[in-house]
Amino acid sequence: MVEANTGEKAIACAESIADMLFTDIRLGGTLTGWDVAEQCRAPNPSMPVIYATGHSHVRPRPVPGSIWLQKPYAPDQLVETIRHLASNGGLGDVP
């Protein structure tokens, strides 16, 4: 697992090592979680993505192979989401 506190750092870390991306929609820096996912998925379009946000006014984008979690979520919900995406080869649905 690699952590980054800005979108820019997340992209730099994820380009070579990420199998799955878990990102908040709102990040420090100038990029959003949507931007990070788009850039990380460019070389690997099937990379599973989990989007999270506590801001209900943000509407989920229909991104194939991704799941949307509304904060607050339970830890077991996150674990189950990761298992679902991993077992389905990145094929998930945005709830």
Say which CATH topology domain 7-87 has: Rossmann fold (3.40.50)
pTM above 0.85, yes or no: no
What confidence score (pLDDT) does residue 88 get? 75
Domain positions in the chain = 7-87
SS (H, E, C) the chain: CCCCCEHHHHHHHHHHHCCCEEEECCCECCCCHHHHHHHHHCCCCCCCEEEEECCCCCCCCCCCCEEEEECCCCHHHHHHHHHHHHHCCCCCCCC
Q: Is pLDDT larger for residue 5 or for residue 74? A: 74
Residue with tokens 């830890």: 75
The pLDDT tens digits of the residues spanning 26-73 come to 888 899 888 888 888 888 888 899 999 887 666 777 677 888 898 999
